[in-house]
Chain A
Amino acid sequence: MDQNLDSGDSVRAGVGTYVADAVVAGLILLLGIIVVVASWELGAGWTSDGPGSGYFPFGIGVILCISGIATIFQALFGKNKDTEVFVDHEQLKRVLQVLIPAIIYVGAIEVFGVYISSAVYIALFMILMGKFSIVKSVAIGLIINILFFALFEVWFKVPLYKGYIDLLTFLGYS
């Protein structure tokens, strides 16, 4: 796991794992409370014709709450509190380098559709992250998406999302 030892002698800074653990458990507890309340409103009791809609989810919500509370407790006051850094800046940067472009990519699909967004996304990712030449990147982005187009639209006849602005209408598939 310690690939980041080579990234210099700088001390790994960031939040401890136990904090992240407690925060996630807190979110689970919150979700549990929401489920409990919503199921209660639906009718978690016994109705005239059997268990109500909220009967089963109510129990599930209770389990979520219990495990959330227990995990918070274990994370903060447990015997082996895990003070190891959860993510350091270098790691966080690398994760965001994938996550943020992925979010932008999905947003672009909404506008331009799957094929054009994918081609641009793959090409840009290769140029910016992989330091590939522009020609090579664009070529790979195009080839992969022509393959996908042939596979989905032509062969399997599964139309993919074309977006609000469909620049590919001239191909006759929509």
Chain B
Amino acid sequence: MVELYRQQFRTTIAVQLQYRAALVIWLIGQVLGPLVTLSVWTAVSASGGGQAGGYTPADFAAYYIVLMIVNQLTFTWIMFELEYRVRHGSMSMALLRPVHPIHSDIADNVAFKLLTFPLILVAAAVIALGFHPAFHFSAWSTVAFLPAVFLAFLVRFLMEWTLALAAFWTTRVSAVNQIYFVVSLFLSGQIAPLSLLPRGVQAAGMILPFRWTVGFPVELLLGKLSFPQALEGMAAQVAWLGLCLLLLRLVWRAGVRTYGAVGA
């Protein structure tokens, strides 16, 4: 198993270094989103007397810089990838292998992130120069951030991998994906920190998994949460992790049974 991961690591890095232009395009997309929203909220808090919903421009800058980093650490592209594999029939090959295909996907994802993490840090530094963020780290929340972000990655990966299996049943995955991305745009804290959204949306955010995959680690690191809230969040992450594992197992089994290979 270790050998498998190591090989996948090497392959991914070699492949990505071949397509450097694609890396630049990916980086622009990854940075521009938070930058645009940050600019909007900076303008809002400037016209609202220096703050909006308890966030000053410096707070918004810190929030979106950390959000960009957490998003980079937890994002996956599996929902597009699996659809492509099913449509082109390369899923068949993955099924013939003696190990579950999720392992090579995890290795692929982690390798890509190791390669691109320095780029995101540079982008974060550039944004910090322009927007002057104010960070208020505390020791315990910084320590707690590490397991929180790791759990966030696991939950998001398993959830998106399970959702991506929708490709086994329908060819119209793009509609499914779009709805998922819109919901996560609001509930994961990307359009605004969750505390700025209407109460009903916040309540939905507490129940659904989206907040726990992005917004929660960000708020934790920035010291917006109390110690009990942090524990509560991690409990929610662990609960979702268990549920996702269970769902993944069930959906995968049913999906493989439905899968009729297309093409070669």
Chains A and B belong together in one complex? no
